Structure 1
Amino acid sequence: MVIRDRMSVNGTALAQLNKGERATSPCQMYYGGSYTKCGIISTRWVKVTKYGVTGYVVGTCVKQPA
């Protein structure tokens, strides 16, 4: 999934987070622009940091580690 500069599918892509990769996150959901991903329509976003870049990814496809 794409790490974006803002909570919108129109936000600038900052980096790519591939399936199975981990990123640090404050484990807090944010609400922004609407999107359809993983078969769900939502406005939930997660703020993450990966590769020294901090931005937002869609929240419906994110798993929290156990």
Structure 2
Amino acid sequence: MRWQCAGILEPEDIEMLERVLRKMLPPNATADEREWLASLLVKAFQSGAADEAALVAKIADKSQSTLPAG
């Protein structure tokens, strides 16, 4: 059983989240934008998006909103 529902992230989960974060961040992202996207990724993962494709799809839906001002 995975512990993601309990909020515990395994090392391989963190590695996957980092890969997705690097893929989705623009090169000139501000610290606020990085933090915003990272928090969306963790929330998406904890709500059931358990692979890279699902995370990207879920975040793409959310990215319709405005990025935080940097």
Normalising by the smaller structure, the TM-score range is under 0.3
Greater C-alpha radius of gyration: 2
With the length of structure 1 as denominator, give the TM-score of the two structures: 0.23
With the length of structure 2 as denominator, give the TM-score of the two structures: 0.23
Q: Which has the higher strand share?
A: 1
> Which structure is higher in RCO with an 8 Å CA cutoff and minimum separation 6?
2
